[in-house]
A and B are shown apart, each in its own frame.
Chain A
Amino acid sequence: MATKTKKARIGIHFFANPARFLRFARKIFPWVTIVAVACIVAALVLGLAVVPPDYRQGDAYRIIFIHVPSSWMALMIYVIIALSSAAGFIWRHPLADLVAKSSAPIGACFTFISLVTGSLWGEPMWGTWWVWDARVTSMLVLFFLYLGYIALNSAYDDPTKGARASAILALVGVVNIPIIKFSVDWWNTLHQPATISKFDRPSMDPSMIAPLLLMVVGFIAFYLVVLIIRLRSEIAARRIRNLRLAQVGNQGASG
């Protein structure tokens, strides 16, 4: 009976052993790095040099190849945090907690990049650095959610407690994000409907989609690279902490 349940759950708990995960990570790490570098370089070359300029926006539109993928990553990483928080909360899966914790700063960075590139893009296009548009505002709220998550996670001295607390916050946030998004959309349409028309983009040329998709793949691979590095350092830090605690315990026992 016991072996049966063990086998049935091997999918979730396979990587609960950090050593097993580290072996797996060491194997895939070079490949993911190659994919990340190759895709980002190819997307940059295609997007900045090969693809023709837009007939209305000129060369300024090329920031889309950074802006749109980082916005997608910002949303995707929050979903990953919520899923791994749920896994960590329900099954007390140690690696899931670490994935959630290590993903949060990366997600916050992508959100920040998305806000900054959007602002840089907005200046030549709409003549203003910042618009309280629905999408911009909900991205800003997402950024604050990330900051709250990171702050709560690091506020606890005990890392397992921090992981559990921030898991609760991430799950509450995931229920709220659709409501926030929907309320912000509605708030904007009620207050300043004129700005919406500025956001209507001309439909994209197929030649522009290729670098965009390449960049998305590159960003996902880049996220995995950074995630693996962060997970390794987290596991190492946790091991050092345990060794130190054991050392202190031994000294206490002998002295």
Chain B
Amino acid sequence: MVTAFFSLVGRDLRLAARGGIGSLVVVVFFFIAVALFPLGIGPESALLERVAPGVLWVCALLATMLSLGRMFEEDYEDGSLEVIALGPLPLELVVLAKVLAHWLTTGLPLIIAAPVLAVLLNMSSKGFAVLMISLLLGTPILSLVGSVGAALTVGLRRGGVLISLLVLPLYVPVLIFAVGAVEGAIFGFGERAHLLILAGGFFASLALTPWASAAALKMALE
């Protein structure tokens, strides 16, 4: 079962690597979206410094959301999702493998890009380490919760617009606690509690969301 799990992850990673520029597009979107903020609210460095953690996290969240559509959609359309579902792996573990591959192709590039953008936004250097930790803990939650939305809209026409309506309200806690942690580090009122809650959210969603996504996939494959 372990081999099946990792061969599925490896397949998705190979597909992402050969199938084009998917994760590059996500990172480019992240850059462009962040670059729009100085244009929209003005280039004063004090203002940018104040809003930097929030802007970075909102853009990371939107970038993750944009890439959710392809988590199951292509496999559903060419029928390979049915073959995978018939295979030895329970559907819950299939979801986890897909989530892991999605995180490696979107969450990880975002984490690597984030410090560069933080410098561009003139973010205080006290927040960098916590920004990285919050992204490391938070982006897996985005992928996990997003898998529910992706599984629910699989096979639907215009699923892409719907997915944002389903998933964004559920992302509210991640945004609040992650930005709270970074601001806590910058303004000196402590980041520990926020990071611990994020970690708790990560483990809770790791334990719960695969069941919901697998139930939704089962329904789509009926």
Min CB–CB distance A72 → chain B (angstroms)? 20
> Which of A57-65, A93-101, A165-173, A243-251 touches B?
A165-173
**Is B170's CB under 8 angstroms from A183's CB?**
no
B176 contacts which chain A residues (CB < 8 A)? 183-184, 186-187
Min CB–CB distance B100 → chain A (angstroms)? 20
Binary interface profile of B, 137-158, with partner A (CB < 8 Å = 1, else 0)? 0000000000010001100101
Report the separation of the CA atoms of residues A21 and B220 in the bound assembly, to the nearest whole angstrom. Answer: 30
A176/B153 contact (C-beta < 8 A), A171-B212, A183-B177, A190-B180 known = no
Min CB–CB distance A173 → chain B (angstroms)? 7
Size category of the binding interface on chain A: 20 to 34
Task: Report if B41 contacts A (CB, 8 A).
Answer: no
B187 nearest CB neighbor, chain A only: A190
Task: Report if A175 contacts B (CB, 8 A).
Answer: yes
Binary interface profile of A, 170-201, with partner B (CB < 8 Å = 1, else 0)? 01110110011011101100100000000000
A152 contacts which chain B residues (CB < 8 A)? 152-153, 162, 166
B169 contacts which chain A residues (CB < 8 A)? 141, 144-145, 148, 173, 176, 180
The count of chain B contact residues (Cβ–Cβ below 8 Å) is: 25
A144/B152 contact (C-beta < 8 A), A152-B162, A155-B162 known = no
B219 contacts which chain A residues (CB < 8 A)? 161, 164-165, 168
Binary interface profile of B, 169-209, with partner A (CB < 8 Å = 1, else 0)? 11011001100100000000000000000000100000011
Among B166, B168, B177, the residue within 8 A (CB) of A169 is: B166
Min CB–CB distance B125 → chain A (angstroms)? 22
Report the separation of the CA atoms of residues A169 and B180 in the bound assembly, to the nearest whole angstrom. Answer: 27
B218 nearest CB neighbor, chain A only: A164
Min CB–CB distance A183 → chain B (angstroms)? 4
A172/B165 contact (C-beta < 8 A), A179-B201, A184-B172, A186-B176 known = no
Task: Report if A210 contacts B (CB, 8 A).
Answer: no
A24 contacts which chain B residues (CB < 8 A)? none
Task: Report if A125 contacts B (CB, 8 A).
Answer: no
Task: Report if B66 contacts A (CB, 8 A).
Answer: no
**Is B216's CB under 8 angstroms from A144's CB?**
no
New contact pairs (14) apart from A144-B168, A168-B215, A183-B176, CB-CB < 8 Å: A89-B215, A141-B172, A148-B165, A151-B162, A152-B153, A155-B153, A168-B216, A172-B209, A176-B170, A183-B177, A184-B172, A184-B176, A186-B176, A190-B180
Top 6 nearest A-B pairs (CB, nearest first) are A183-B173, A187-B176, A144-B169, A148-B165, A183-B176, A148-B166
